[in-house]
Every structure is written in structure tokens, then in C-alpha cells.
């Protein structure tokens, strides 16, 4: 039975921007101004325009509160555009975040559980095939694949940056070749941790050890959502309707996003037939 969107259960799958958090190598800086300071700043703005307004003229001496945020678009939960991986994809210009089709950013999600993988390991094609077989699911074009590592439980700590497995280049290409345009992870990054890539590169001298999953995006076109959360709150592993539309930043490599799963009261697809 079709239902109203207003009746759906919404599950937030994101992590927000936090001032100076230990889980970011380039943490955001958030400077907040209270209502009294807001009155002073608004009054000063009006005075610069020639109006005789003082902070005390605002009701109770309070104006509007706001914040100044200094952050890279890769802080918090965000969607990486193909431009992040390189200037071209298979010889064609790579899309920036403001060029991503909105249709890519909605669809039914499939959650693949890799919480059993050790930190620093790669998720291979065989791992992906086994996870899909365990679910009895064949991927179809337009589906969104979410990689669950359990790393979101470490958010707020420095361990969040190092304790997770990452995707392999071959695994990334495998998913995209099934028609998947968006792949998400609840880990800090899509690749292995920086420490694991650095150690492997020093041992082998092989450039393929450096951001292999990201750089697969120079051959196949896709977007990735990094720093997701709460995948364990989803009531099922397949046919999970989600929307993950990024903020448009002109010419940028990524945009902040707040992915939301939309389910009806019995775990069915919100606003449509239950799966």
C-alpha cells in the first residue's frame, strides 16, 4: 500500500561537522556567535549603511545567532565527485560535485557487512561476491552499495583514522561495472588507512599501493560517500531507499551530504510498496 512521505521513518546515516574533533586530520573550525554578539554585528552592519541602529535597540538586546565555519568539503560525511580522483575518467572530463546528476544520489541501498575484516585489509572482489551471495542479492543498475566496517563507533577518537579496512581497486571497478554509481562507507576513508598505504608503499615501492580505490575512478565513473554512520540501525540489508544529495560547490571535488534512509513503519520502502 502506498503511504505518505510524512509517515516514513527517517534514519540519519551521517556524521556532522565538529570543531577540532580528533577524528579529522584537517578538523573543522566552528566559531559561534551568540545572540548578543549577533545584535552588535547586525547593528554595525546597519550603521555602515547609514542607519542609526544600536545593539540595544534589538528586543532584549538580542539579535541573530550564527557561526563561521572553516572546513574542507571532505570533513564530516561527504560525497566525493569523480574530479577528486583525477581530471579525467576513461579519457572524458571528470565531473565536479556541482555536475553530479541528482538521479545518482537516490536509490535502493545494499549494505555489505565487512566488520569481520581486519584494520588495514583490502576488500576484494571475492569478498564482495561472497557478501552478495550471503544476502542472495544480485546488484542492478542504480543501486547504492554501502560498505559497513563498524568504524563509525570510533568517531571522536584518533583511532577512527586507522582502524578500518578499505576497498580495493578491483573491488571498486567490480561494483561500478554492475551499474553502481554511488558507493558509501562508514569509515574515515574509502581506501585503506593512510598508515597502511604508507607502510605498504615503503615495503614495495609500488605506486599502486597509494589510494588504489580512489584512483580506480580514473577508469570507471562513480562517486563515494565517506564517513557514514548508523548502518546498524537499518532494519534490513537490501532494498533500503536512501537519498544522499550533496551541497553544490562550484568546481569542487566533494560536497557535504546528509544521507537519509526512508522506511515505512514496518521496514518497507517509504512512500511506496514495501519490499
pLDDT digits (tens, 9 = 90+) for 25-72: 999 999 999 999 999 999 999 999 999 999 999 999 999 999 999 999
Is 271 a residue whose pLDDT tops 90?
A: no
| Cβ proximity of 239 and 267 under 8 Å | no
Cell of 164: 578500518
pLDDT at residue number 273: 35
Per the structure block, which three cell numbers stand in for 204? 614495495
The pLDDT > 70 percentage for the chain reads 95
Examine the pLDDT at 272 and tell me if it is beyond 50: no
User: What is the C-alpha to C-alpha distance for residues 5 and 172, in angstroms, rounded to an integer?
Assistant: 33
Instruction: Classify strands 106-113 and 92-93 as parallel, antiparallel or unpaired.
Output: unpaired
Q: What pLDDT, on a 0 to 100 scale, did the predictor assign at position 264?
A: 83
Regarding predicted confidence, which is higher, 264 or 192? 192
Q: Which domains, and CATH codes, for the chain?
A: 29-70 (no CATH), 78-263 (3.50.30.50)
N-terminal to C-terminal alpha carbon distance within the chain: 11
Amino acid at each position: 500500500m502506498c503511504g505518505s512521505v510524512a509517515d516514513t521513518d527517517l534514519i540519519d546515516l551521517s556524521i556532522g561537522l565538529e570543531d577540532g574533533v580528533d577524528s579529522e586530520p584537517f578538523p573543522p573550525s566552528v566559531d559561534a556567535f551568540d545572540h548578543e554578539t549577533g545584535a552588535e554585528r547586525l547593528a554595525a552592519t546597519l550603521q555602515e549603511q547609514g542607519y542609526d541602529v544600536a545593539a540595544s535597540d534589538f528586543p532584549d538586546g538580542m539579535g541573530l545567532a550564527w557561526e563561521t565555519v572553516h572546513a574542507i568539503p571532505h570533513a564530516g560525511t561527504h560525497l566525493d565527485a569523480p574530479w577528486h580522483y583525477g581530471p579525467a575518467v576513461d579519457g572524458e572530463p571528470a565531473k565536479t560535485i556541482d555536475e553530479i546528476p541528482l538521479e545518482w544520489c537516490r536509490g535502493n541501498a545494499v549494505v555489505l557487512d565487512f566488520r569481520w575484516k581486519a584494520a588495514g585489509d583490502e576488500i576484494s572482489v571475492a569478498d564482495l561476491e561472497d557478501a552478495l551471495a550471503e544476502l542472495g542479492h544480485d546488484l542492478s543498475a542504480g543501486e547504492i552499495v554501502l560498505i559497513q566496517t563498524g568504524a563509525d563507533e570510533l568517531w571522536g577518537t584518533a583511532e577512527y583514522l586507522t582502524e578500518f579496512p578499505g576497498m580495493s581497486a578491483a573491488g571498486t571497478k567490480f561494483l561500478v561495472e554492475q551499474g553502481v554509481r554511488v558507493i558509501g562507507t562508514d569509515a574515515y576513508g574509502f581506501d585503506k588507512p593512510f598508515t597502511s598505504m604508507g607502510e605498504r608503499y615503503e615495503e614495495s615501492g609500488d605506486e599502486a599501493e597509494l589510494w588504489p580505490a580512489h584512483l580506480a575512478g580514473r577508469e570507471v565513473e562513480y562517486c563515494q560517500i565517506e564517513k557514514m554512520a548508523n548502518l546498524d540501525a537499518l532494519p534490513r540489508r537490501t532494498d533500503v531507499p536512501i537519498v544522499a544529495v550533496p551541497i553544490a560547490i562550484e568546481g569542487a571535488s566533494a560536497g557535504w551530504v546528509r544521507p537519509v534512509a526512508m522506511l515505512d513503519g514496518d521496514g518497507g520502502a517509504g512512500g511506496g510498496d514495501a519490499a
